[in-house]
């Protein structure tokens, strides 16, 4: 014969197990948004017209991020932008800070277009992801078409020295990312541009 005490403990145990099995005990997945054209991310191919040996249609691209438009399009206040073109992870964990941390709207970085210099690029298919944490591998996903504009880099500065040839594109060979807790981006506010390419 069961006592009322045993019945209460059994009922409590059944309720506790039901609660535990009903809970999702897996860690929360990181928030991630797929970015398409019109969400605040644009691409351009860089021309170097003022170099001693001018280079039009270089093999260097630039991604420009309108942080305000990206935040509004994705509903995420901050995060990391990753871009994959032709199965190559060309932009890795570009930080997009919250408006309170970063009071500017424009963020940009250069990347290797993976082409022979002199080849015009007017569009490409890219998989662009915006996530709340840095990625250690490209998140994957489908590609969408992005227009690629043109931007010129004029060289000037002290003296009359003009570089002989356009620079090489940036390489991602040595860019590795470890656990998110070891990623600490920093911002230097109101830093004047002290040199130009």
Mean pLDDT value across the chain: 79
Q: What is the mean pLDDT of residues 13-27?
A: 39
- Beta-strand pair 79-85/32-35: unpaired
Mean pLDDT check: name the lowest of 134-138, 145-149, 188-192.
Answer: 188-192
Task: For residue 97, give both structure tokens.
Answer: 């800070």
Element of type H or E holding 86: none
Residues 68, 40: contact at Cβ < 8 Å?
Answer: yes
Give the pTM.
Answer: 0.75
Domain count, the chain: 1
Its domain, for residue 35, covers 28-163
DSSP 8-state assignment for residue 18: H
Residues 185, 96: contact at Cβ < 8 Å?
Answer: no
In a domain, 49, yes or no: yes
* Residue 107 three-state SS: strand
Rounded Cα gap, residues 181 and 138, in angstroms: 18
In a domain, 7, yes or no: no
Rounded Cα gap, residues 123 and 118, in angstroms: 15
In a domain, 14, yes or no: no
Q: Which residues 6+ apart lie within 8 Å of 77 measured at CB?
A: 71, 98, 99
Q: Which residue has the tokens 């059944």?
A: 14
In a domain, 17, yes or no: no
Most confident of 23-27, 114-118, 188-192: 114-118
């Amino acid at each position: 014969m069961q006592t009322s005490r045993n019945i209460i403990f059994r009922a409590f145990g059944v309720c506790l197990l039901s609660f535990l099995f009903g809970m999702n005990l897996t860690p929360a997945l990181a928030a991630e948004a797929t970015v398409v054209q019109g969400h605040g991310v644009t691409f351009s191919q860089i021309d170097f017209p003022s170099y001693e040996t001018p280079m039009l249609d270089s093999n260097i691209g630039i991604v420009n991020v309108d942080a305000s438009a990206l935040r509004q399009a994705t509903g995420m206040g901050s995060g990391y932008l990753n871009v994959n073109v032709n199965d190559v992870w060309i932009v890795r964990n570009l930080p997009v800070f919250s408006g309170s941390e970063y009071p500017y709207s424009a963020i940009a970085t250069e990347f290797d277009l993976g082409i022979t210099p002199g080849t015009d690029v007017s569009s490409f298919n890219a998989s662009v992801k915006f996530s709340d944490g840095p990625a250690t591998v490209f998140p994957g996903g489908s590609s969408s078409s992005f227009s690629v504009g043109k931007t010129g880099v004029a060289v000037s500065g002290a003296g009359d020295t003009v570089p002989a040839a356009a620079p090489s594109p940036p390489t991602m060979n040595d860019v590795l990312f470890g656990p998110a807790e070891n990623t600490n981006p920093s911002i230097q506010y109101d830093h004047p541009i002290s040199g130009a390419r």
